[in-house]
């Protein structure tokens, strides 16, 4: 995994932000006219919005009303850009003006081997439903993970995605790819969309995904989980636990509450596929993790493959 060193001085961050701006401006012409950009708590009007075929971009320095003054770099999908009304931000790639702010997801860093400046992102993309945050996107996005250390914190290492090397003439492609991936992730991470799909539709999408979950060498990069596989298991269970057959104990978010369970755990080489996944009530789920009986395992194996 490529190694990067976090940039934290105000001067270095300023140099990196300007390199990032040059990179964006070289590939994204200014859009004539005035645009409204919606953010949490309001709208901002801009005459300096930029766009290419894939994404739009607006930036400004934000110092008021925030804990960490930051370079605010907002991005959205070009296909959604409107000249009237408010434009929704897909993702912000912000950097603190100075230091390393844990609440700000963008990171400027220097590649250790080459000294090149780069833009990284922690993978914390926000939005969507509660409980869907960094780990969900990190497990889902097929980006380039790199290791970044922070000299000011005794070299403490963390992982991030490489978005672009700032002197790469094609660097905007990395930005476009990232913004598009976040947009797809946010659209995909919606139980409402899953609810609209038929069992057959869920099955088709579940089968279309890779058979083996993606796993990287580092533990913080979690298994890639297929939402259609989980959606399929719950739909197939039809409101009843696949083990005890009792109705789900309560309704949550307008759906009978059941939990997805892999019959052969992913950590033991199990696959994130519909023939290895069942939907269980919380009691049975806990039991299967604490003390699975052979007869129960056999029953779930049969349920998963649709024979029980």
Binding site for Zn ion (CB under 5 A): 241, 243-244, 261, 281, 284
Least Å from the CB of residue 239 to Zn ion: 12
Least Å from the CB of residue 52 to Zn ion: 43
Backbone angles phi and psi of 214, in degrees to 5: -80, 140
Least Å from the CB of residue 20 to Zn ion: 42
DSSP class of 254? T
Q: Is the dihedral of CA 135, 140, 143, 145 positive or negative?
A: positive
Residue with tokens 């476009």: 176
Q: How far apart are CA 216 and CA 294, in angstroms?
A: 31
Structure tokens at 215: 């796993």
Q: How far apart are CA 72 and CA 64, in angstroms?
A: 12
Structure tokens at 230: 């989980």
Structure tokens at 301: 């194996």
Least Å from the CB of residue 215 to Zn ion: 17
- Closest listed residue to residue 96, CA positions, set 8, 23, 4: 8
Structure tokens at 77: 């999908």
Least Å from the CB of residue 257 to Zn ion: 11
Least Å from the CB of residue 135 to Zn ion: 16
Nearer to Zn ion, 165 or 288 (CB): 288
Nearer to Zn ion, 127 or 282 (CB): 282
Nearer to Zn ion, 120 or 243 (CB): 243
Nearer to Zn ion, 225 or 261 (CB): 261
Nearer to Zn ion, 92 or 272 (CB): 272
Structure tokens at 123: 């993978």
Q: At what angle do helices 294-304 and 282-290 cross, to 10 degrees?
A: 120
Nearer to Zn ion, 189 or 242 (CB): 242
């Amino acid at each position: 995994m490529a190694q990067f060193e976090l940039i934290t001085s105000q001067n270095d961050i300023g140099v990196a932000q300007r390199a990032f701006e040059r990179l964006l401006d070289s590939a994204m012409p200014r859009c004539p006219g005035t645009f409204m950009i919606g953010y949490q708590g309001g709208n901002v009007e801009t005459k300096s919005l930029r766009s290419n075929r894939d994404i739009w971009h607006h930036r400004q320095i934000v110092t008021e009303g925030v804990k960490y003054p930051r370079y605010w770099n907002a991005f959205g999908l070009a296909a959604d850009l409107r000249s009237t009304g408010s434009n929704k931000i897909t993702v912000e790639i912000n950097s603190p003006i100075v230091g390393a702010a844990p609440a700000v997801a963008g990171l400027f860093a220097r590649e250790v081997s080459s000294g090149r400046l780069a833009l990284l992102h922690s993978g914390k993309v926000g939005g969507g439903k509660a409980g869907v945050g960094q780990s969900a996107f990190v497990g889902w996005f097929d980006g380039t993970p790199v290791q970044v250390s922070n000299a000011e914190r005794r070299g403490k290492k963390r992982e991030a995605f490489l978005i672009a090397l700032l002197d790469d003439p094609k660097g905007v492609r990395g930005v476009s790819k990232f913004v598009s991936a976040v947009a797809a992730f946010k659209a995909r991470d919606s139980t409402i969309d899953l609810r609209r799909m038929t069992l057959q539709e869920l099955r088709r999408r579940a089968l279309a995904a890779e058979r083996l979950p993606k796993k990287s060498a580092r533990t913080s990069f979690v298994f890639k989980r297929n939402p259609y596989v989980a959606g399929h298991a719950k739909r197939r269970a039809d409101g009843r636990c696949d083990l005890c057959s009792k109705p789900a104990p309560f309704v949550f978010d307008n759906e009978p509450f059941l939990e997805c369970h892999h019959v052969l755990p992913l950590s033991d080489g199990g696959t994130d596929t519909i023939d290895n996944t069942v939907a269980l009530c919380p009691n049975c789920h806990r039991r299967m993790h604490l003390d699975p009986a052979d007869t129960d395992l056999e029953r779930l194996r049969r349920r998963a493959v649709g024979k029980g």
